Structure 1
Amino acid sequence: MSFTLFPGTRLALALESLAGLSVGDALGAQHFARRVDLTDPPPAPWEWTDDTEEACCLVAVLAEGDFDRDAFAELLGRHHDPYRGYGPGAVVMLRAIREGLPWPIASASAFDGQGSSGNGAAMRAAPLGAWHADSLAHAAAQGARAAEVTHAHAEGIAGGVAVTVAAAVAAAGRLDGQRPSLLGAVAAHTPSGHVRDGVLRATRLRSIPEAAHELGNGARAMAQDSVPFAIWVADRFLDDYPAAIAACIEAGGDVDTTCAMAGGIIAAYTGLDGIPPAWRSAREPLPGWLSAATAAGE
């Protein structure tokens, strides 16, 4: 990587990744209400879920230096809407943070002290990777910091790291003018465990049904059964956002989240031009507080 990123460029990359994440999330969520035919998409508006809400909180605190976990936790506690599809454990944790419990205690207390191994840290992570497109090692470190706010389990953290690195590789490829390969780079920067093992297995898979069967489709909402598949989809369809969303819908399972992860990674590579304009228009507008926060940080 031979480029230098200035704050404005970092933010632009992150916001384009957020657009891909949020459109994928909102369109994927339609799958649970009706059969989705991408040749005749559902009527607007497409409401986004907790995936997008958490990603907006993440983007709102992006700045130079280490990821600000305290500020991120405060935004998660303040803005989370339980009716956006949060799991029961996340609702309890974020309510506790809102009420003043320090995030390290809240995160470590989840699931009887085991910490969460869910895919919540991964679903919001792509914009952070796009921000750190100039250093995969730094992207991995910051991905772990961001994940730890809500996920104390090693697999939950690894899921956040893997998606962060994938988006960083994708954005770097865009800036370098070359289509990158994601899987090897992600495996090289992801901690050992089930998530990394899944990413390594993904390198030999060729079809969507095979990948969903071998890697999982997020039906258990765990990092290890959703992140490797989403990254496989992003790697396979890196220059074709609609095809990636179609692949996630075909696979079933936690469709909004796999669409969010793959969509955020791919948009880091394609930019807004890769997302069909009609889909961007159909997605429910992002929250007004995000615009205010990002404008203040410019």
Structure 2
Amino acid sequence: MNRAYATLQALAVGDALGSQFFVPANRAAFEAQTLPPGPWQWTDDTEMAASVYRILETHDTIDQDALARTFAENHDFDRGYGPSTNRLLRLIREGGDWRTLAREPFDGQGSWGNGAAMRVAPIGARHFDDPASAAREAALSAEVTHPHPEAVAGAIAVAVATALPRTTPGAFLDTVIAHTPPTNVRDGIVEARHLLPLADPLTTSAILGNGRQVAAHDTVPFALWAAARNQGDYERAFWTTAAAGGDIDTNCAIVGGIIGDPPPHWIAQCEPLPL
């Protein structure tokens, strides 16, 4: 199994398991940090990450036009996409130009949502131990749907984190910060670096955000704090991330992709990858 595929699988498990805790019947399992019954269905996070993986396998780089087509062709309205992304992918499928359509929100800057960050981990895995290449390819992947500087910075930060070998939490975030463009996302990661001594995800997410705004700067800093503190331990990383609430499936998809290596019995409960 190649590293990018394994990372996609780890992302999907985080996404699929995290999404189960929006179901009221699973609230007790969430509070007890126990697994809900399977199978666990993944969301748009995994569907888009699978498209990124396909493009890497086919082109060995991010071909933006091919990625836009692949996103549109594999778009399943029922997977939990936001309304603006649903519209964007529908219009691309109907022949629209992604370069124009993606920049329509925010007065021509495009969306600053967390959608580019949630799907980017396979790029980091593809460029393992080469954070500069991971950052460059992540920016290309983000621009197709989320060209706002905050969204691009979020994608870069997550790809760089996924590309890094295991190291100390401080060194991990220092490297991510060094490759992330000056933005609110970067400022949030700097704050996450200062908060590494904290162990409580609720306190930390109250400062950094937990994705409730579905924005890159409200999502990525906390996810990187959770990943930095839990390298090498997927289960602990997942429950630390989920405990903060907010956009649980996306937060856990990001952290799962960075950490990698979910337990085999968790993989068995996850819906098969869309490949």
Counterpart check, 1:225 vs 2:212: no
Do the aligned residues in 2 keep the contact of 1:182 with 1:231 (CA within 8 Å)? no
Q: 1:281 aligns with which of 232, 243, 268?
A: 268
Counterpart check, 1:116 vs 2:111: yes
Counterpart check, 1:190 vs 2:180: yes
Once the two structures are superposed, residues 216-241 of structure 1 have per-residue CA deviations (whole angstroms, 9 ceiling, x without a partner) of 00000000000010011000011111
Task: Provide runs of 4+ in structure 1 moved above 3 Å.
Answer: 36-40, 63-66, 178-181
1:100: Cα distance to partner? 1.1
CA distance in 1, matches of 2:129, 2:33: 37
Counterpart check, 1:40 vs 2:34: yes
Aligned position for 1:5: none
1:66: Cα distance to partner? 3.8
Q: 2:72 aligns with which of 56, 77, 91?
A: 77
Do the aligned residues in 2 keep the contact of 1:47 with 1:283 (CA within 8 Å)? yes
TM-score where L is the length of structure 1: 0.86
Residues 202 and 62 from structure 1, CA distance in 2 versus in 1: closer, same or farther, beyond 3 angstroms? same
CA distance in 2, matches of 1:40, 1:203: 29
Aligned position for 2:12: 22
CA distance in 2, matches of 1:118, 1:41: 29
Do the aligned residues in 1 keep the contact of 2:9 with 2:273 (CA within 8 Å)? no
Counterpart check, 1:91 vs 2:86: yes
TM-score where L is the length of structure 2: 0.92
Q: Percent identity?
A: 48
CA distance in 1, matches of 2:168, 2:153: 24
Do the aligned residues in 2 keep the contact of 1:93 with 1:110 (CA within 8 Å)? no
Once the two structures are superposed, residues 41-96 of structure 1 have per-residue CA deviations (whole angstroms, 9 ceiling, x without a partner) of 11111000000000000000105654111111101001111110000000001111
Do the aligned residues in 2 keep the contact of 1:66 with 1:142 (CA within 8 Å)? yes
Alignment of 1:143-292 (within 5 A): 143-169=138-164, 172-173=165-166, 181-205=171-195, 206-207=198-199, 208-267=201-260, 272=261, 275-287=262-274, 290=275
Do the aligned residues in 2 keep the contact of 1:216 with 1:225 (CA within 8 Å)? yes
Do the aligned residues in 2 keep the contact of 1:143 with 1:164 (CA within 8 Å)? yes
Aligned position for 1:31: 21
Aligned position for 1:6: none
Three-state SS of the structure 1 residue aligned to 2:104 is helix
1:244: Cα distance to partner? 1.1
Amino acid at match of 1:246: W
* Structure 2 gap segments, 5+ residues each: none
1:209: Cα distance to partner? 2.0
Matched residue pairs, number? 266
